[in-house]
Chain A
Amino acid sequence: MEKRVFFKGWLLPLLLIAPQILVSAVFFFYPAGQAVWQSLFIPDPFGLSMQYVGLGNFKYLLSDPYYRASFFTTGLFSILVTLVSMIPALFLAIVADRLIKGAGTYRTLLIWPYAVAPAIAGVLWLFMFNTRVGVVSWYLGNLGYDWNHVLNGSEAMGLVVVSSAWGRISYNFLFFFAALQSVPKSIIEAAAIDGARFWRRFWTIVLPLLSPTTFFLLVVNVVYAFFETFGVIHTITSGGPQQSTTILVYKVFADGFVGQDLGSSAAQSVILLVVVGALTVFQFKYIERRVHY
C-alpha cells in the first residue's frame, strides 16, 4: 500500500516543491532546451552566425558509420563496467560480511579507491600499463605477452573498463555490504536448520532480498558508465585506437570542444538524452518488476 498525505490548500505543497522545480528548471530544463534548439543549427564557434539546417545535424550524424559504431562501443563499455564493478563488489561484500575479526579495517581498505577521482584513477592505471615504463606491461613482456593498448583496440577497451570499474567496486561494496547486514538473521538460521548449504541459502534467500539494492546499483552504474567515465577515457586513450573506446559522451566532447562543431555536439547531446531516458524507462518498467521490496 502506498502512503499518501493530503494537503488542504495548494499553496503549501507548491511552496514545498518549488525549490526542486527551480533547480530542475535552471540546471536541467533550460540547458536541455538550449541543446535541442542548437541541434537545429550549424553555428560558427564564435557565435557570430548560425545556419538553420533543420534535422541536418541528425542526418549527418546517423549517416556516419563511426557514430553508429559508437553506440555499440558505449553499450559494450557500459555492460562491462557494470559487471566488472558489481560482481567483485558483491563477492567482497559477502566475504566481508562473514568476517569476525578485523572487519572494520578490511571495510575501510575496500572503500578507499572510491575517494580517487576518475581522471586520477585513469592516470594511475595508465602508469601501470604504459607500454614503455609500466610495471604490469613489463611483467607481461617477461611472460612473453606484448602489451600495447596504443595500437590494440581490445586491450585499450579492457584497460578503460578496469580503470573505470576499479573505484566503483568500493561504492558498490558499500551498498551490498549494508544490504547484507539488513538480511534478517532469523531467516538464514531457519534455512540453515532445514539443511540448506551456504550457496543454496545465497541463491534462494540472500540474493532475492538484495534485489532492491542490486537494481538501484544497476541503474546508478549504467548512468556512471555513460557519463562519468569521461576522465578515464580522456586520460588513457582519448577514444583511440581507431575510435575503439570512443563512447557517446566522449564524442560529444571531441566534436564540440576539439572540433568546435557545436551543432553536431548539440545534436549528439539530444540523442544521448533520448537514449538515457529510454534506458531508464526500460529499467524501471521491465527490470523493476523482478525486484521485491
Chain B
Amino acid sequence: MKKISIGALAVSSTLLSPIAAYAETEVHFWHAFTGRLGELVAAQVEDFNASQDNYTVVQSHKGNYSETLNAGIAAFRAGEQPQILMVFEVGTATMMAAKGATRPVYEVMAASGAEFDQDAYIGAVKGYYTSTDGDMLSLPFNASTPVLWVNRDAFKAAGVDPDTDLSTWQNVDKTLTALKAGGSDCPLVTAWQSWIHLENFSAYHDVPFASKDNGFSGLDTELQVNGDAQIAHLTAMGQWAKDGKFIYTGRRNEGGANFRAGECALFTESSAGYAGIKSEAKFAFDVRPLPYWEGVGNAPQNTIIGGASLWVMEGHEEEEYKGAGEFLSYLSSSDVQAKWHQDTGYLPITAEASAATKASGFYEENVGTEVAVIQMTAKAPTANSNGLRLGSFDQIRGIIDEELEAIWSGDKSAKDAMDSVVKRGNPLLRRFEQANR
C-alpha cells in the first residue's frame, strides 16, 4: 500500500511541476505556507527568479508542516525529492539523524560560492539548527517566540490597571485574581501549551527539558520535564484552570479566536500572532515579554524559537546545489529578512536585519514588535536554552498535550502528569535512537 502511494505521489508531483523556461537550472522548494504567508513566499521566489537568469526556483505548497515533512520523506524514498524542503522545528532531530538524505547548509553555501557568514545569524535562532561543532545544518526561515498579549480594554472593564507590571508569574497571579474579581470570564488563555508552558518555560528558567543538553549532545537523551520548576508552574496553572482564571481552548492556537474577539484579558501566544491580532482586534492591546517565576532557576534566561527551517536534500546535480545556495543566500539577505520580519512578526534571522528594522523606525510605529527580539537575544543561550533536539518530538508533544489536558480537567496532579510524560515519552526516544543507530 505504501509503495503504491509513494508511486502515485511521485507521478503526481512530476505531472504538477510547472514547466519552466529551459536552459535555466530548476530548484524545487516545498513549503507549508498558505494564505498571506503563502503569498509572501511566492513573492520572495518571484523576486529571486527575476533578479538573475541562471536559476529558476519553483515553489509548491505541500500541506501543513507535518504533511510537508511526510511529502519530503516519501519523495526521497521514491527518488523525487525537492532540492529545498521546509521542515518545522519539531522535525529537526529527524532531519539531522538522516545523514545521507540531507546536505548541510554550510556545505551548500561553501560550494555555491555565495557569501555566507555563520556569525551574522542571531545565536538563539540559529542554535536550534546548528550542529554541536557550530555548523549550520539548515537555514532558519520563519522563527517566532512566545510573548504575552494584553487586552487593555478588558483590564479596564475589570477595573484593573492595564499598565500593571506583568513581568513575573507572581504578579500575573495577583492580576488574574483581580481580573476574575472584576468580572472577567476569561482572564488568561494560551496557544501551543507544550511549546509555551513547558518547552519555552524550561529554557526561560534555564532548567533542562531533556538530558544530554536537551538532546543536542546525543540520541540517548531522556525527558526531564518532571523537574520541580515545571511542576510548580503547571500546578499553579492547574489551580488557575480550576478557579476559572485560565481558560483552556485546545492544543493549537484555538485561543487566538477568543483573544481576538476581545473575550480574554491575557494571551500567551507566538510573536507571529501579531499580524492576525493587529488586523482583527477591536481593542487596545500590548505586547509584553513572557512572564517568569521570580527566583526560579536563572529566569529570565532567553526563550526559544518555533517555526521552520529550510533543509537541502541529497541526490541532485552540483549545478542545482549552486542554485539552492544562491536562493538561500538571497533569503538571508538583510533587506529580504527585514521585510519578512515586518510583514509577518517572525523574528529576523540576522543581526543586520534586526538593526535595519530598528533604524527604519518600525518598532516605534508598531509598539511591542521588538519585545520578542529582545527576549530572545538579551542573554547568550545556555545548554538549556539553545533549543530542543528530540526524535519523535511531534508524538511526544501529543503526549504532553494529553497529560496537560489531564491537569486542566483536574484528573491528575501536575507531578503525576509530568511523571507520565517521562514514562511514555522515553520509549519513543529509545525507538528513535534505535532507528538511527
What is A's interface to B at a CB cutoff of 8 Å?
27, 31, 34-35, 42-48, 51, 53, 60, 64, 66, 131-132, 150-152, 240-243, 254-255, 257-261, 263-264
B114 within 8 A of A: no
B160 within 8 A of A: no
Across the interface, do B77 and A46 meet the contact criterion of CB distance under 8 Å? yes
A150 CA / B392 CA spacing, docked (Å): 24
B16 within 8 A of A: no
A258 CA / B76 CA spacing, docked (Å): 17
A-B residue pairs in contact (CB < 8 Å), sample of 27? A27-B4, A34-B3, A42-B431, A42-B434, A44-B97, A44-B98, A46-B76, A48-B100, A60-B427, A64-B427, A131-B249, A132-B258, A151-B405, A240-B405, A242-B402, A242-B406, A254-B398, A257-B66, A258-B66, A259-B392, A259-B395, A260-B73, A261-B392, A261-B428, A261-B432, A261-B435, A263-B435
B101 within 8 A of A: yes
Across the interface, do A45 and B98 meet the contact criterion of CB distance under 8 Å? yes
User: Chain A's nearest CB lies how many Å from the CB of B143?
Assistant: 23
Apart from A46-B76, A150-B249, A242-B411, 4 more pairs, CB < 8 Å = A34-B2, A42-B434, A48-B99, A131-B249
A43 CA / B97 CA spacing, docked (Å): 12
User: Chain A's nearest CB lies how many Å from the CB of B103?
Assistant: 13
Total number of A-B contacts with CB less than 8 angstroms? 93
The size of the chain B interface, using a CB distance under 8 A, is 43
A242-B405, A243-B402, A257-B66 as given contacts; A44 in contact with B436, CB under 8 Å: yes
What is B's interface to A at a CB cutoff of 8 Å?
1-4, 66, 70, 73, 76-77, 94, 97-101, 248-251, 254, 257-258, 392, 394-395, 398, 401-403, 405-406, 408-409, 411, 424, 427-428, 431-432, 434-437
A46 CA / B76 CA spacing, docked (Å): 7
Q: Report chain B residues within 8 Å CB of A35.
A: 1
The 4 closest A-B pairs by CB, nearest first: A259-B395, A31-B1, A46-B101, A151-B409
A46-B98, A261-B392 as given contacts; A51 in contact with B427, CB under 8 Å: no
A198 CA / B87 CA spacing, docked (Å): 65
Q: Which residue of A lies closest to B1 (CB)?
A: A31
A255 CA / B94 CA spacing, docked (Å): 14
Across the interface, do B394 and A45 meet the contact criterion of CB distance under 8 Å? no
Q: Report chain B residues within 8 Å CB of A150.
A: 248-250, 405
A34-B2, A254-B395 as given contacts; A66 in contact with B427, CB under 8 Å: no
Q: Report chain A residues within 8 Å CB of B73.
A: 45-46, 260
User: Chain B's nearest CB lies how many Å from the CB of A257?
Assistant: 6
Across the interface, do A259 and B428 meet the contact criterion of CB distance under 8 Å? yes
Across the interface, do B77 and A152 meet the contact criterion of CB distance under 8 Å? no
Q: Report chain A residues within 8 Å CB of B398.
A: 254, 258
User: Chain A's nearest CB lies how many Å from the CB of B236?
Assistant: 19
Across the interface, do B248 and A151 meet the contact criterion of CB distance under 8 Å? yes
Across the interface, do B408 and A259 meet the contact criterion of CB distance under 8 Å? no
A255 CA / B394 CA spacing, docked (Å): 10
Q: Which residue of A lies closest to B432 (CB)?
A: A261
Q: Which residue of A lies closest to B428 (CB)?
A: A259
Across the interface, do A132 and B435 meet the contact criterion of CB distance under 8 Å? no
A67 CA / B409 CA spacing, docked (Å): 23
A31-B1, A31-B3, A51-B435 as given contacts; A151 in contact with B408, CB under 8 Å: yes
Across the interface, do B2 and A31 meet the contact criterion of CB distance under 8 Å? yes
Q: Report chain A residues within 8 Å CB of B66.
A: 257-258
